[in-house]
């Protein structure tokens, strides 16, 4: 007789729930029933075991669903915990970053023609956006978010950046048409690259370490 309880524990990992042992026992009992039924139908030992394990093809997803079911009725929904809260934390960090850069760096530094200065500023900003992506994705993973939720949380500030880009382009086009000192011609690609594409790539890279589940298999709430 197979030790389904040990197999469930090894594959599903720790859940951090009060009824954890009871949940594992119930799932192990279900797998045993499927296994025995397959054996009665003439399946080999290996085929019967495969049929039983097919009941839970994704053990991480099974653990996550059990956690969600145990948390029904709580005031904070799963989407709030795994997307909105970490995403808004990343947006808040983005706002703080922008305000800090405006306070610390003088305006003439941003237009300094020296390539070394521009590279240093760009590197500093992109490293900060790596941190923002990691903040959103890491918080989401800690809350039990799926890899998709973690990625979206890390990229959440892009919504703010998109609004800034659209506003800048909308205000810049009339200025360019009406005054010789307006925005330079075809400035839109540069604005899009500097305010949306580059930060988005940096934040996406920052989420990468958190898109996989923890190596110990533990899912935290």
180-220 tens-digit pLDDT:
444 455 556 777 888 889 999 999 999 999 998 754 444 44
- Print burial letters for 144-155: b (CB count within 10 Å at least 16), e (below 16): bbbbebbbbbbb
Q: Give residue 179's pLDDT band: very low, low, confident or very high (50, 70, 90).
A: very low
In this prediction the pTM is 0.59
Which residue do the tokens 């809260």 mark?
85
Structure confidence by residue, pLDDT tens digits, 137-170: 999 988 878 889 999 999 999 998 888 878 777 7
Q: What's the mean pLDDT when you consider all of the chain?
A: 77
Residues 210 and 140 sit within 8 Å (Cβ to Cβ): yes
């Amino acid at each position: 007789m197979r030790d389904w309880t040990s197999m469930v524990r090894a594959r599903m990992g720790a859940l951090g729930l009060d009824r954890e042992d009871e949940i594992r026992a119930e799932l192990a009992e279900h797998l045993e029933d499927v296994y025995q039924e397959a054996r009665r139908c003439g399946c080999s030992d290996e085929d019967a075991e495969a049929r039983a394990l097919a009941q839970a093809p994704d053990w991480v997803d099974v653990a996550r669903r059990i956690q969600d079911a145990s948390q029904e009725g709580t005031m904070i929904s799963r989407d709030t915990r795994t997307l909105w809260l970490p995403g808004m934390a990343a947006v808040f960090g983005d706002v703080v970053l922008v305000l800090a850069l405006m306070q610390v760096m003088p305006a003439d530094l941003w237009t300094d023609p020296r390539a070394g200065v521009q590279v240093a500023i760009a590197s500093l900003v992109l490293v900060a956006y790596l941190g923002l992506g990691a903040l959103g994705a890491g918080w989401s993973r800690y809350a039990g978010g799926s890899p998709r939720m973690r990625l979206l949380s890390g990229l959440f500030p892009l919504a703010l950046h998109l609004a800034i880009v659209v506003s800048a382009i909308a205000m810049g086009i009339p200025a360019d048409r009406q005054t010789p000192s307006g925005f330079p011609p075809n400035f839109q690609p540069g604005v899009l690259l500097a305010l949306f594409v580059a930060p988005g790539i940096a934040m996406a890279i920052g989420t990468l370490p958190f898109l996989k589940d923890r190596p110990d298999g533990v899912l935290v709430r």
